[in-house]
Amino acid sequence: MAEEILETQKPAKPPIWNDPVYRALFFQALVLGGVIFLGYTLVSNTLHNLERQGIASGFGFMKTTAGFSILMNLIDYTESDSYFRAFVVALLNTLLVAAIGIFFATIFGFLVGVARLSNNWLLSKMAAVYIETLRNIPLLLQIFFWYFGVLRQLPQPKQSVMLWDSFFLNNRGLYSPAPVPEEGFAFIIWSIVAAIIIIYFMARWAHKRQADTGQQFHTVYVSIGIIIGLPFIAAVLTGFPMTWEYPTLQGFNYKDGLSLIPELVSLSLALSLYTATFIAEIVRAGITAVSHGQTEAAYAVGLRPGPTLRLVVIPQALRVIIPPLTSQYLNLTKNSSLAAAIAYPDLVLVFAGTVLMQTGQAVEVIAITMGVYLTISLLISAFMNWYNNKMALVER
Amino acid sequence: MTERKSDSHELGSHPDWSPPASTVGVLGWMRANLFSSPLNFGLTALGLWLIYQIVPPIINWAFIDAIWSGDSPDACRNEGGGPKAAACWIYIDHWFNYLMYGLYPKTEQWRINSAYILLLGGMIPLFIPSFKYKGWISVFLLFVFPVIAYFLFAGGSFDLAIVETPLWGGLFLTLVIAITGIVVSLPIGIVLALGRRSDMPIVRALCVGFIELWRGVPLITVLFMSSVMFPLFLPEGMNFDKLIRALVGVALFSAAYMAEVVRGGLQAIPKGQTEAAGALGLSYWKTMGLIILPQALKMVIPGIVNTFIGLFKDTTLVLIIGLFDFLGVIQATFTNPEWGGFHTTGYVFAAFIYWCFCFSMSRYSMHLEKKLHTGH
């Protein structure tokens, strides 16, 4: 009896074309089918076109001789090296400019961001003008300005701008003395490594002692002393095993010493100045996000301004700052691909430009280039998610 | 002011003392904001020194020493033939038409101008708060205007002469790419955002993959891809011109960014809204179209404007694949043997134009953010 009632109270089953479960399945099958069909069409068209143009697909070309030179290489590279080696050289150049850009953009961005918040009216307004001006001008235009408008207009090597007879600036680049290590230099390197290890264990010991007894230790001053003192002692003991190699004018340009090509200088200048505007805004937002009550509370429990900033304000501000900061680093890395416009030999210029032109392997070359950038950005976002989870407020 | 009696202790009402001169007025303001501490004093001095170093040379360069009149490039050159260290505004005057329209035939430029007027005429009512038919105007601008503009620019029908796309250039081409990019990417972005928040795993995975793929690579590789790989993707004999290929690349790229902006808006709508709509018996598309999207899109208008600013700045990249946008035509003028070589003037002019567009848009988006911020 009871079962009968239940049977009648059960909702009527909808017809199959109105059932949400079947509808979802049907719709997804439709989308998947469409995507597969599209992919199949593209792949078959591409294969057909490649066959027609007589291009063999595959990554075998990476082993053949490149036969072109690269303006700047961090590792040894000659024209007889393979395409793969050229790829590595280009990738290193990209990473180099990204690292330089990130370094200076961070420092400058933090300075401008703090200046924007300063209670000095003039400084804060100047920071605002800087941010609003450079942020609203396309990056490529800024790169062009620094490269064609400034650095290429510098005098010829013979009329170089000189600083203390050791730095030379001309339209071929910036030349500076290069350190040349001599015998015994490894000793200094090892002393720096030793200093870092000592500082690490000292900081752990100091932290533990403060947690146990409440006594503080001047970790910062002692660390500075160790990191400068230990290598200095090592240098004195080995008799300063390093000389400087000065650039000299030979023929039409300077030889020896360290040289920075103008492409690298203008690209890193434009990238850091442009990205610094965004970082400044992020820093400002981060610091204003920490409510003033936190500072007041820290003062009330007796912390001085320094520890207040270090222990209360900055850790909380960083929680707001780090995620957008990481995505700015990512943007900077992606924007470094604009190097192609001023012929800085980065991944896009060398690989998606020259190599593609020489081999005609469009699909493989573009796929590798995109793959590299995609890998970098996925790595950075994985780091960001990890950091976010670590730093997220533990809510009850 | 009554005389102050320092020894007065009489009860009763006394007139208020005026505040010390150093705490009010200009002096007080300067003390509080510029010279409040030794550090501040130093910073102010540093700032003034920087301004002194930067501003007078710029004013000299742009106005006082600048060459305002003359009709030959020699007026801007030294005896040696190099450009003078001052702005050469006659160079801008000489190239102005080229910078604005590229190689678009002069007799046909009225077509571009009338499209501009139509666009501006359509946009002005959107800024008037009491105007009633904003929805219709937006629909017109988003769907009807692009069609009209296409027929005007390309020609070939209605007795208009055909103008090939290689002739398009200058600021005109920049605006075409930026506006097409935003108009095409908005609907694709909405669909992708809905897909990313869908309950169907396959649809969601496809949308996430698509969005992350485009967001993870630089625009320039997308443009390279569209210029070298699209021809391979298409069946034999079928081909598009360079501009369309670049437009497809730009649109797909910005669609991914747009999807993330729209997703932000969708996430901000409480779940109760969807549930209430479901309880009333609305279908998925009706729920989205009538309840969720109108609220979400209104919320993310500032984000859309910001995406547009980014896109507007990124259009400069098309010059790398050989299109002559505003920056591209500026670069092209430098190689002219007679009127070329005025790099600084050209870049400053370009920077000024880009800045005007981007700055006004970013102010507008900030204004919208304030207006839409109806919370606490």
Q: How far is CA B250 from the centre of its chain?
A: 15
* b/e A178-205 (16+ beta carbons within 10 angstroms → b): eeeeeeebeebeebeeebeeebeeeeee
SS3 of residue A173 by DSSP: strand
**Residue B358 contacts A where some CB pair is shorter than 8 Å:** yes
pLDDT, tens digit, 9 for 90 and up, residues B330-345: 888 888 777 777 888 8
pLDDT, tens digit, 9 for 90 and up, residues B87-106: 788 888 888 888 888 888 78
pLDDT value of position A127 = 92
pLDDT value of position B1 = 47
Rounded to a whole number of angstroms, the distance from the CA of B130 to the nearest CA of chain A is 31
Q: How many CB atoms lie within 10 A of CB A108?
A: 18
**Cross-chain Cβ contact A140/B224 below 8 Å:** no
Residue of B nearest to A351 (CA): B221
Beta bridge partners of A242: A181
| Side chain identity at residue A11, one-letter code | P
| Side chain identity at residue A122, one-letter code | L
pLDDT value of position A179 = 73
**Cross-chain Cβ contact B232/A362 below 8 Å:** yes
CA distance A265 to A268: 5
CA distance A217 to A205: 10
* Alpha-carbon distances, residue A301 vs A191, A294, A308 (angstroms): 42, 11, 10
Backbone φ, ψ for residue B69 (5° rounding) = -135, 165
Q: How far is CA A358 from the centre of its chain?
A: 30
Among positive and negative, which fits the CA dihedral B144, B149, B154, B157?
positive
Beta bridge partners of A176: A258
pLDDT value of position A271 = 93
Report domain extents, chain B: 89-104+163-372
For tokens 């009329």, name the residue. A159
pLDDT value of position B373 = 67
CB-nearest partner of B220 from A31, A137, A337:
A337
Residue B295 CB-density burial (10 A; 0-12 exposed, 13-18 middle, 19+ buried): middle
How many contacts does A have with B, using Cβ atoms within 8 A?
Answer: 153
Question: In the structure encoding, which two tokens stand for residue A190, read together?
Answer: 């090892």
Residue of B nearest to A370 (CA): B217
pLDDT, tens digit, 9 for 90 and up, residues A96-124: 999 999 999 999 999 999 888 888 888 89
H helices present in B217-283, as ranges: 219-228, 230-233, 242-268, 271-279
> In what helix (H) or strand (E) does residue A299 lie, and over which residues does it extend?
helix A292-300
Residues present in chain B in total: 376
Rounded to a whole number of angstroms, the distance from the CA of B231 to the nearest CA of chain A is 9
- CA geometry: angle A73, A79, A84, nearest 5 deg: 70
* b/e B216-236 (16+ beta carbons within 10 angstroms → b): bbbbbbbbbbbbbbbbbbbee
pLDDT value of position A251 = 66
* Inter-residue contact A77 to A70 (CB < 8 Å): yes
Contacts of residue B203 in chain A, CB cutoff 8 Å? 27-28, 31
* Inter-residue contact B203 to A28 (CB < 8 Å): yes
**Residue B320 contacts A where some CB pair is shorter than 8 Å:** yes
**Cross-chain Cβ contact B199/A24 below 8 Å:** yes
Contacts of residue B317 in chain A, CB cutoff 8 Å? 140, 338
**Cross-chain Cβ contact B355/A363 below 8 Å:** no
Which domains does chain A possess?
A: 83-174+256-390 (1.10.3720.10), 178-245 (no CATH)
pLDDT value of position A270 = 93
Q: What is the pairing mode between strands A253-255 and A173-176?
A: unpaired
Given a cut of 50, the residues of chain B with pLDDT beneath it are 1, 376
**Cross-chain Cβ contact A363/B229 below 8 Å:** yes
CATH of B89-104+163-372, one of 1.10.3720.10, 3.40.1790.10, 1.10.260.40, 1.10.1660.10: 1.10.3720.10
Question: In the structure encoding, which two tokens stand for residue B132, read together?
Answer: 């009633």
CA distance A274 to A143: 10
SS3 of residue A1 by DSSP: coil
Given a cut of 50, the residues of chain A with pLDDT beneath it are 1
